[in-house]
Each structure stands twice: as C-alpha cells, then as structure tokens.
Amino acid sequence: MERTVPNILVEPFFIDEMVLIRTATPENSALEAATPESLKSDCEIYMNWSPTYQLWHDRWWDPFSPTRIPVDTAGLIFSLMQDARQWSIVPKSVATAFVQSGRFVIQELWEAPPVRTCYKLTHKHPKPTVNRSLAILNQYLKLLFP
C-alpha cells in the first residue's frame, strides 16, 4: 500500500505474485487448484505480508482463529511446515526458494491473493554524499528488476 510521506519518494520497484505452498507429498503434488474455502485455517502457517494481503486473508478465514500458527519471518514457515495438511501463502520468490529444497510444492489458488509490491524509499533531496550510492543501487535494481 503506497503512502505519501513528506520529503520521501516512494517508488514501486518489484511486484511479486502470492502463491500457496504445501509440503511435497505424492498427494499434494497431484492436487488440483485449491479454493480458499477448501483450506482449513487450523492447518495454516500464517504471515501478514501487507495490509492489502491481510484484508484479502480476512475475507476467507477468521482473523481471530487461535488455531493457525502465526510467524514473523518466512524462514519459520520453512521450519514449521512438516505435515501434508499444512499450508501457507507466500510471495512466489519465497516459494521458489522453498520448492528448490525438494520439500515443498506450489499449488494453484483459484482466488489469488493481491500481489506483494516492494517499494524503494529515498529522500526527495538526498545529500550529495548519498547520490553516488543511490546511482549504484539504481543500476542494480534495473538489472534485477527490468
């Protein structure tokens, strides 16, 4: 969610699709696309990715459910997801890293969550000593996110 902040430039630089991940099992690898209604909240490993994601999530699952497992870092999802019934919604860049381990699969979601937008924040009037560093950062961002 883009905000206006005095003297700060807020620019989106990367948009990441949100996807469903599950433990890699023969059953999960063959699963059809899931609907949010088919996912049990007591099997969720939950991370609040953004206010927009939170609003979407709360449309489908009880925001006060005591049974889901809340986490504050993506690495905890990797560590805690052990059961074939467990699931989590993560950015595709995170999911790709999880899938490379061989322990997880991406399952399609019929009602996709909103994308996750990453922003670059810079001062509107940076100090001259910072301009060179910003130029280098901008070069790398253009290479990584054309």
The tens digit of pLDDT for each residue in 58-67 reads 999 988 878 7
Positions of CATH 3.40.190.10 in the chain: 18-114
CA distance 50 to 58: 12
Determine what percent of the chain is predicted with pLDDT higher than 90: 52
CA distance 80 to 11: 34
pLDDT band at 145 (very low <50, low <70, confident <90, very high): confident
**Which amino acid is residue 26, in one-letter code?**
P
pLDDT tens column, 67-121: 788 999 999 999 999 888 999 999 999 999 999 998 999 998 999 999 999 888 8
Q: What is the pLDDT of residue 46?
A: 94
Q: What is the pLDDT of residue 11?
A: 86
Q: What is the pLDDT of residue 95?
A: 94
pTM here? 0.82
In this structure, what token pair is assigned to residue 131?
A: 């301009």
Question: What is 18-114's CATH superfamily?
Answer: Periplasmic binding protein-like II (3.40.190.10)
CA distance 55 to 63: 9
Q: What is the pLDDT of residue 43?
A: 93
Rounded to the nearest angstrom, the gap between the alpha carbon of residue 117 and the centroid of all alpha carbons in its chain is 9
Only one residue has tokens 């005095």, namely 6
